[in-house]
Amino acid sequence: MFNSARPITTLLFDWDGTLADSSQLGFATFQETFATMGVAFPQQTYEATYSPSWYSMYEAMGLPRE
């Protein structure tokens, strides 16, 4: 039993990678998005170019910024 003089006021959860793994959902989303533009997006490309910055990913794939 947890016995503390102070009540717990805050709980933090590290969602992605701990409680859930969204990498496959992210990959599927990018793959579908690029397919609408006629651009193939294999898993190897996703793993090699993934960045939280979409612009960095597009640039790594050789796509124009606009």
Would you kindly state where each structural domain of the chain is located, as residue ranges? 24-60
Q: What's the pLDDT at 56?
A: 86
Say if residues 33 and 39 touch (Cβ distance below 8 Å).
no
pLDDT tens, N- to C-terminus, the chain (66 residues): 566 678 888 988 776 777 777 888 888 998 998 899 898 889 998 888 888 888 888 888 888 877
Q: What's the pLDDT at 50?
A: 85
The tokens of 7 are what?
């009540």
Is pTM, for the whole model, over 0.85? no
Residues in contact with 51: Cβ distance below 8 Å, sequence separation at least 6, in sequence order: 57, 60
Say if residues 61 and 39 touch (Cβ distance below 8 Å).
yes
